[in-house]
Amino acid sequence: MTAIAITQAHNNLFSIVNRVFQTNERIIISQKGKNVAAIIGPEDIQFLKNIDVLEDRMLNEIADEAMEEPGENISFKEMKKQFGRS
């Protein structure tokens, strides 16, 4: 994974995006030494979307199982919030 300064990304955005598209390379953009963003290809976006779908299914299954247990229950939405996925 390559890291570049935000000013370099600004000045070379077209070539950076083209590079990511052609090679599926991941580019991290930093500002004042801190990583602030990333440029990734469409395959990576699809992969992340698939992970989100699978995670929702798993959490939903866990929530369904928990609803059958005695005691206080929380909603699926609240469960996702507790896992930091609101």
**pLDDT tens profile 7-59:** 999 999 999 999 999 999 999 999 999 999 999 999 999 999 999 899 888 88
How many structural domains comprise the chain?
2
User: Residue 46's beta-bridge partner residues?
Assistant: none
Which residue, 15, 37, 17, 39, is CA-closest to 27?
39
Same domain, 16 and 33: yes
Residue 13 and residue 31 in one domain: yes
At 36 the pLDDT is 97
Say yes or no: 26 and 50 in one domain.
no
Pair 54, 68 in one domain = yes
| Least confident span in 1-5, 28-32, 41-45, 72-76 | 72-76
CATH number at residue 30: 3.40.1620
For residue 23, the enclosing domain spans 2-40
Which phi-psi region, left, alpha or beta, contains residue 22 (left: φ > 0; alpha: ψ -120 to 50)?
Answer: alpha
CA torsion angle 68 69 72 76 (round to 10): -50
- In this prediction, residues 55-68 reach a mean pLDDT of 82
